[in-house]
Amino acid sequence: MITLDRLINVLGGYGARLRVTSVDRSTELRSVVLPEVVDGRTVSGDVLLAVGAPSAEEALRWARAARAAVVIVRQTGAAIPAEPSDIAVVAIDSAMPWSDFAAIVYGLVMEGRETESGRGPTDLFALADSLAGAVDGPVVIEDRLAQVLAYSRGQEVTDAARVATILARQAPPDLRAVFDAHGVFAHLAASDEPVFVPGVDAAGMTGRMVVAARAGRELLGSVWVACSEPLTGSAWRALTEGAHTVALHLLRSRASADLERQVESELVIRLLESPADAATVASRLGLPPADLRVIALRAEQRGHGHAALLQVFERATAGFGWSRPSRSALAGTTVYTVLAAPEAAVARGWVSSLVTTLDEQVVVRAGISAPAPATGLAGARTEADECLALQESTDSVVFPAYDESWDDVLLQRLRTAARSGRAPARGAVADLRDHDRRHGTAYVRTLRAWLQEHGDPVRTAAALGVHENTVRYRMRRMAGLTDLHLDDSHKRFAMMIELAVD
């Protein structure tokens, strides 16, 4: 079962919209029915698919007869009569066939319990095998981002390009260039008709027949057949019909994945709050009770708003729980991932692997916490946030980890604290900075080096690249310009902090 709230949230991703209703969104849904009378009795259920309803008013009448809590109707401009308070009305896009939407709803409601406990995706490999037999050629099924989802048996007898595609889970760059040159991706975005790409010896490819797997207006993926000549007759029909079946499977897998992501995200957010039953929550997520790191990620891509962040979240949660070492949640503008990683290098490697699956234009920044037990992840989240802010402020190419970058994090804290109030207009550092600005001297730089080298003129001179007598001269000149208080340890420490966070 799932709740009305979860059904609405997931269906919203497919263009469905909830009309005004006062039905409790925590209402549990356990069954899906069509408007049907069997042996003189109306079939009842929690969700009614109002297939064939001539109007919203008729759909509501059917829903009340079926004692349904939710009725799903076609999107029209007509208002729902009297805005029903006892039934939630969900309107779907007119471009989405009822058969496609029914697959999603049945998958969510009827298989929700299985999905929450770790149900795997629909067996696309079996479907690929069946389709390969019908078209008499090896088949590969890809998602909308051209990532390989499944493939049929017999790939070992195809060309080198196919083998490379399966091993890398996506077409190599030179092969993608071939497809781009033939306008394949533009064709998939606009047409449901199969298209043939002739073989290219230089790319190690014998030939491809490809067709879009689409639900309504939305491209969900594609089906690729390795063949030396265009498919015709029954093979062509099998491919076009098979693409529709693939689309249904992808819809069900996507619905299950959306549900799985929501369940996972809720548990991760709860775990990051360090509840009393943190060990139990970690166990439900399949995580060990200790040596956990929190990774905070942000992403951006010019001109695409939040799309890059959503892409990161989708990639971080790609695959089902048993196939991933991490668990993730999307909170605001940040993706939080909990990963079992005693060493920072493991977490850093995980981030790097994630980045390789994204578009080249996506820029990812990340911060990594120190290892913590499941009961201490609230503090680890703060550590990850600080490290993320550190990378954003320095634009370092290395993802900082709290236990390795503590000195930089501390300076960042001091920098934040120093900027929270007004900087003094007078004082040793302020006076020297003003003199440098007006006369082009290097007194502030010299003082910083002198403090860092604990007053040793030889090491200070080496750090500055000048003669030690120059250092002594500058120190005398500075003492004449302002009271440095170099004999006061507290003043020296304060000046070190002021100069370090400048």
| pLDDT of 269 strictly over 70 | yes
Q: What confidence tens digit (pLDDT) does each residue in 143-196 have?
A: 888 888 889 988 877 888 998 898 888 888 899 999 999 999 999 999 999 999
| pLDDT of 413 strictly over 80 | yes
Residue 490 pLDDT: 80
| pLDDT of 270 strictly over 70 | yes
- Lay out the sheet containing 363-368: strands in order across: 326-331, 334-340, 292-300, 363-368
Residue 346 pLDDT: 95
Residue 460 pLDDT: 93
d(CA 379, CA 372): 8
Quick one: average pLDDT of 361-367? 91
Asked if residues 141 and 170 have their Cβ atoms less than 8 Å apart, the reply is no
Q: 181-185, 207-211, 224-228, 258-262: lowest mean pLDDT where?
A: 258-262
Residue 325 pLDDT: 87
* Surface-to-core class of residue 363, CB atoms within 10 Å of its CB (0-12 exposed, 13-18 middle, 19+ buried): middle
Contacts by 317-321, CB closer than 8 A, 24 or more apart: 317/257, 317/260, 317/261, 317/264, 318/357, 320/118, 320/119, 320/120, 320/121, 320/257, 320/260, 321/118, 321/260, 321/264, 321/285, 321/286
Confidence of residue 247 (pLDDT cuts 50, 70, 90): confident
Q: What confidence tens digit (pLDDT) does each residue in 21-65 have?
A: 778 888 888 788 899 888 788 888 889 999 988 888 889 999 999
What are the distances in angstroms from CA 228 to CA 158, 196, 201, 241, 325? 10, 9, 12, 21, 41
Greater pLDDT, 404 or 419: 404
Greater pLDDT, 442 or 111: 442
Greater pLDDT, 31 or 346: 346
Residue 116 pLDDT: 34
Question: CATH code for 2-116?
Answer: 3.40.1390
Quote the tokens at residue 141. Answer: 């099924």
Residue 120 pLDDT: 36
What ranges make up the beta strands (E) of 119-230? 139-143, 148-151, 195-200, 205-215, 218-226
| pLDDT of 419 strictly over 80 | no
| pLDDT of 237 strictly over 80 | yes
Quote the tokens at residue 28. Answer: 């549990």
What are the distances in angstroms from CA 332 to CA 11, 269, 378, 472? 21, 12, 16, 54
Greater pLDDT, 322 or 68: 68
Q: 79-93, 105-119, 283-297: lowest mean pLDDT where?
A: 105-119
Confidence of residue 124 (pLDDT cuts 50, 70, 90): confident
Q: Where do the structural domains in the chain lie, given as residue ranges?
A: 2-116, 124-253, 285-418, 428-500
Amino acid at residue number 428: A
| pLDDT of 80 strictly over 80 | no
Amino acid at residue number 291: D
Q: What confidence tens digit (pLDDT) does each residue in 302-339 have?
A: 766 567 888 888 888 876 554 578 999 988 889 999 99
Quote the tokens at residue 422. Answer: 């007004």
Residue 79 pLDDT: 59
Q: What confidence tens digit (pLDDT) does each residue in 457-481 have?
A: 999 999 999 999 999 999 999 998 9
Question: Among residues of the chain, what percentage have pLDDT more than 70?
Answer: 90
What are the distances in angstroms from CA 406 to CA 366, 369, 386, 409, 410? 16, 10, 10, 5, 6
Give the CATH fold of the 285-418 domain.
Answer: Alpha-Beta Plaits (3.30.70)
Confidence of residue 210 (pLDDT cuts 50, 70, 90): very high
Quote the tokens at residue 461. Answer: 């001179």
Residue 185 pLDDT: 93
| pLDDT of 384 strictly over 70 | yes
Give the contacts of 486 (CB within 8 A, at least 6 positions apart). 455, 479, 492
Confidence of residue 491 (pLDDT cuts 50, 70, 90): confident
Residue 113 pLDDT: 39
Asked if residues 250 and 145 have their Cβ atoms less than 8 Å apart, the reply is no
Residue 239 pLDDT: 93
Q: Which CATH superfamily is domain 428-500 in?
A: PucR C-terminal helix-turn-helix domain (1.10.10.2840)
What is the dihedral sign for C-alpha 386, 389, 393, 396? positive
CATH architecture of the domain covering 124-253: 2-Layer Sandwich (3.30)
Q: 190-204, 364-378, 409-423, 449-463: lowest mean pLDDT where?
A: 409-423
Quote the tokens at residue 299. Answer: 């992403």
